[in-house]
Amino acid sequence: MKPVYEMIGYQLVDIKYKRLQLGVPEYFKLYLKGSQFDEARSIYIIEPLFEIKFKDVELSTLLFSAAFRINDLTWKEKMSKEQVDATFMAAVYPFIRSMIHHVTDDYRGAINLPVIDIRLANLEKGVTFEPHIKSHDPGLKN
Q: 19 in a domain, yes or no? A: yes
Q: 113 in a domain, yes or no? A: yes
pLDDT for 135 equals 52
Q: Where are the alpha helices (DSSP H) in the chain?
A: 73-78, 81-104
Q: 138 in a domain, yes or no? A: no
The CATH number of the domain holding residue 59 is 3.10.420.10
Q: 66 in a domain, yes or no? A: yes
Domain that holds residue 21: 5-127
Confidence of residue 133 (pLDDT cuts 50, 70, 90): low
Give the total number of structural domains in the chain.
1
Query: pLDDT tens for residues 35-78?
Result: 999 999 999 999 999 999 988 899 999 999 999 999 999 999 99
Euclidean distance between CA atoms 116 and 132, whole angstroms: 17
Q: 134 in a domain, yes or no? A: no
Q: 142 in a domain, yes or no? A: no
Q: 116 in a domain, yes or no? A: yes
* Cα-based angle 68, 50, 7 (whole degrees, multiple of 5): 15
How much of the chain, in percent, has pLDDT values that exceed 70? 93
